[in-house]
Structure formats: C-alpha cells, structure tokens
Amino acid sequence: MKMELAMYQALRAIDVPELKAEAVIQALESDMLTLLATKSDLASLAAEIGKATAEISNTNHRLTAEIAKSDLKLSIRMASMLAVTIGILIGAMKIFL
C-alpha cells in the first residue's frame, strides 16, 4: 500500500490528472497481483520441481537397469547368431568343397 501511495503522490506531483493517476496505480497493482510470483508461489514451484526431479531420477535408474538387461540379452543373441552362421558356413564348405 505504501508503494501505491508513493506512486500516486509522485504522479500527482508532476501534474498527472487524478483519474489518470488512479488508473495507472490500479493497472500497476493488477499486473503485480497477476504477473509477479509470491514467495509461496516460488515455494510451490520449488516443491513441484523437486518432485519432477525425483521422478526423472527414478525413471533414469529404471531405464538404465532395463538397458543393462537388454544389453546382456542382445549379446547372447548376437553370439548365438554368430555361432549358427559359422555352423552354416562350415556345413556349406563341407558340402561344396
């Protein structure tokens, strides 16, 4: 309230008409209430960011574990395919040579 009064007095001191000074103060007050964040807004945002960070970390750990499992399975499959391919090549060489 002190700021609004000080601004009103400053506007009136430079000969701004009373209605226009009041309109400026109301517009400024409206913008300050709707656009600026309060301490509680920032605390709420910090809590939400903390939750999101925890969820992302949890997801990251879960995905890392799944990738490790998939890596092992993929290595086993690749080795199996390589063994089968070598077997087929050896068999083909025995047949055709």
**Domain extents in the chain:** 2-71
Least confident of 12-16, 52-56, 74-78: 12-16
Q: Alpha-carbon Rg of the chain, whole angstroms? A: 36
Confidence of residue 1 (pLDDT cuts 50, 70, 90): low
* Region of 15 on the Ramachandran plot (φ > 0 left; ψ -120 to 50 alpha; else beta): left
Per the confidence metrics, is the pTM higher than 0.75? no
